[in-house]
Amino acid sequence: MQPIIQGLLMISASVVFCLGYYYLSNWFLDNIFLPAHGRNINRNISLANQIRPWLFLFPALFALLVYLAYPVLETLRLSLTERHAYGDEWVGLANYAQMFNDQKFWEAFRNNMSWLVIVPAISTGFGLLAAHLTDRIGWGNAAKSIIFMPMAISFVGASVIWKLVYDARPVDQDQIGLINALYLFFGGDAPQTWITMSLWNNLFLMIVLIWIQTGFAMVILAAALRSIPEETIEAAIIDGSNPWQLFFRIKVPQIKGTILVVWTTITITVLKVFDIVYAMTNGHWDTQVLANYMFDKFFRGNDWGVGSASAIVLMLLVTPILVWNVKNARKEIQ
């Protein structure tokens, strides 16, 4: 069977199952549950109305339990065991101790912290600048479409594009890499292998994610800027505010909550970054990040204990930011 047909059949079966489940749940409440609970019809209807929402929520709760809660608990268990051919041996925090004594882990952790400081700040800043400037030009919508376009590209696809941009060929060959072509054009002595240059190569990888996330930040912040009341802006102009003051003292404070939501959303993406590093350097040349470290331990080293421990560390780093982001988003909605 063709994969596309198989996928369509699975989607159709899921829809039919959900519709059947909701229909049978209502039928059970109305035709079996209510008549079976005596003659106090008002009490029965009230009880059924309390049960009905949980029946509708059950498929989503079941999916969360199976695909979220169980994997987290199983990962936590594996992080405390040493897997052997004949079973799992309880080792407590030994996997965490081994991980914390691994230089590769600290390399990945330092790189993740660098990504965490640089990428959200620059992406949000560029996005805010683009949102503000594109609203002031006649062809702003076209500019927004161009800036947002990288969001339609997968991380792997973007990595392939930028790997070609950074490509280095021998000096006697034509350079297909844009950076090296410009470097030689402006007097460089030889092509540089940019993604192998320690320290700098991490910055070159970060540019890929900044390129992608700037469009996301721009779209959200442009909507926030348009929501500022015109009366506020007009009053500031009448009071003598120049464009610089109008932007930083009037507009930015009023969308501060949205800026923080965008910042933290990009931060969560940065903490989970994997595809870009894997596709461009495979973690070599001191570019390892936590997600790549976890992948190496799981699938290359077959070390499920340390791999699970690194997954728990990554989850602990992401969770507080995610919770804060959800709370802040709810405040924005209210």
State whether residue 41 is helix, strand or coil: helix
Handedness of CA 300, 301, 303, 307 (dihedral sign): negative
**Per-residue pLDDT, 109:** 92
Measured in degrees and rounded to the nearest 5, phi and psi for residue 88 equal -110, 135
Domain that holds residue 52: 3-79
| Rounded distance between C-alpha atoms, residue 276 and residue 283, angstroms | 10
pLDDT digits (tens, 9 = 90+) for 294-322: 998 888 878 888 888 999 998 888 888 87
Residues 58 and 104 both lie in one domain: no
| Rounded distance between C-alpha atoms, residue 108 and residue 91, angstroms | 24
Q: Is 73 part of any domain?
A: yes
| Rounded distance between C-alpha atoms, residue 174 and residue 165, angstroms | 13
Helix (H) or strand (E) holding 177: none
Q: Is 321 part of any domain?
A: yes
Residues 134 and 242 both lie in one domain: yes
Residues 75 and 213 both lie in one domain: no
Residues 15 and 141 both lie in one domain: no
Q: Of the ranges 13-22, 125-134, 195-204, which one carries the lowest mean pLDDT score?
A: 13-22
- In the chain, count H helices and then E strands: 16, 2
**Per-residue pLDDT, 39:** 56
**Per-residue pLDDT, 92:** 82
Q: Is 205 part of any domain?
A: yes
pTM of the model: 0.79
State whether residue 301 is helix, strand or coil: coil
Total of domains in the chain: 2
Residues 303 and 242 both lie in one domain: yes
Token pair recorded at residue 145: 């479409």
Residues 69 and 216 both lie in one domain: no
| Rounded distance between C-alpha atoms, residue 17 and residue 15, angstroms | 5
| CB-CB neighbours of 120 under 10 Å | 23
Q: Is 150 part of any domain?
A: yes
**Per-residue pLDDT, 238:** 81
Residues 167 and 262 both lie in one domain: yes
pLDDT digits (tens, 9 = 90+) for 259-278: 888 998 899 889 888 989 99
Q: Is 192 part of any domain?
A: yes
Q: Is residue 253's pLDDT more than 70?
A: yes
| Rounded distance between C-alpha atoms, residue 326 and residue 323, angstroms | 5
Q: Is residue 71's pLDDT more than 50?
A: yes
For residues 116-123, average pLDDT: 93
For residue 90, the cross-strand partners are 81
Residue 216 and residue 149 in contact, taking contact as beta carbons nearer than 8 Å = no
Residues 170 and 75 both lie in one domain: no
Burial class (CB in 10 A: 0-12, 13-18, 19+), 192: middle
| Rounded distance between C-alpha atoms, residue 270 and residue 119, angstroms | 7
| Rounded distance between C-alpha atoms, residue 282 and residue 151, angstroms | 23
For residues 236-258, average pLDDT: 83
| Rounded distance between C-alpha atoms, residue 256 and residue 129, angstroms | 14
**Per-residue pLDDT, 128:** 92
CB neighbours of 191 closer than 8 A, spacing ≥ 6?
168, 169, 170, 171, 175, 177, 180, 183, 184
Burial class (CB in 10 A: 0-12, 13-18, 19+), 147: buried
Residues 120 and 61 both lie in one domain: no
CB neighbours of 43 closer than 8 A, spacing ≥ 6?
37
CATH number, position 245: 1.10.3720.10
For residues 239-249, average pLDDT: 81
Residues 26 and 165 both lie in one domain: no
High-pLDDT (> 90) share of the chain, %: 18
Q: Is 112 part of any domain?
A: yes
Residues 31 and 140 both lie in one domain: no
Q: Is 61 part of any domain?
A: yes
Q: Is 87 part of any domain?
A: no
Last residue of a domain, one of 15, 46, 79: 79
Strand boundaries in the chain, DSSP class E: 81-84, 87-90
Residue scoring higher pLDDT (240 or 75): 75
For residue 82, the cross-strand partners are 89
**Per-residue pLDDT, 85:** 46
Determine the longest span between alpha carbons in the chain, in angstroms.
93
Q: Mean pLDDT score of the chain, rounded to an integer?
A: 83
CA distances from 295 to 87, 122, 303 (A): 22, 28, 10
High-pLDDT (> 70) share of the chain, %: 91
Residues 223 and 257 both lie in one domain: yes
